[in-house]
């Protein structure tokens, strides 16, 4: 009822083969496959080129320094044993 059955698809495929011919149809599909392959290769080359440029830029950048000209140190955010800890905020599903 309004949808395509297997018979509709088969009849359509036979009509397409009759109109375009087997050889011409397979040549078209080969051209489509070649186009997809070259597109994927182009995208991979572009990604590789971006990665290479990024690595070159990082090698050429001097290390970032603070105002007193020392390299940046990582920030330690682990709580010390004697520090007071704030109680957790109440959840929405808990009664107030």
Residues 6+ apart with CB under 8 A from 63: 71, 72
Dihedral angle, C-alpha 48, 54, 60, 61, nearest 10 °: -170
Whole-structure pTM value? 0.36
Euclidean distance between CA atoms 67 and 93, whole angstroms? 48
* DSSP designation for 92: T
For residue range 9-44, list pLDDT tens digits in order. 999 888 888 887 778 777 888 899 999 999 998 888
For residue range 44-92, list pLDDT tens digits in order. 888 888 888 888 888 887 766 656 656 667 888 887 777 677 777 787 7
The Cα-based distances of 70 to 57, 67, 73 in angstroms read 22, 8, 9
């Amino acid at each position: 009822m309004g949808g395509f059955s297997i018979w509709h698809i088969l009849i359509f495929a036979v009509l397409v083969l009759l109109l375009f011919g087997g050889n011409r149809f397979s040549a078209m599909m080969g051209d489509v496959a070649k186009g997809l392959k070259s597109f994927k290769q182009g995208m991979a080359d572009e990604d590789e080129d971006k990665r290479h440029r990024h690595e070159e830029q990082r090698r050429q950048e001097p290390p970032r320094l603070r105002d007193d000209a020392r390299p940046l140190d990582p920030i330690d955010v682990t709580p010390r044993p004697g520090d007071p800890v704030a109680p957790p905020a109440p959840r929405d599903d808990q009664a107030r």
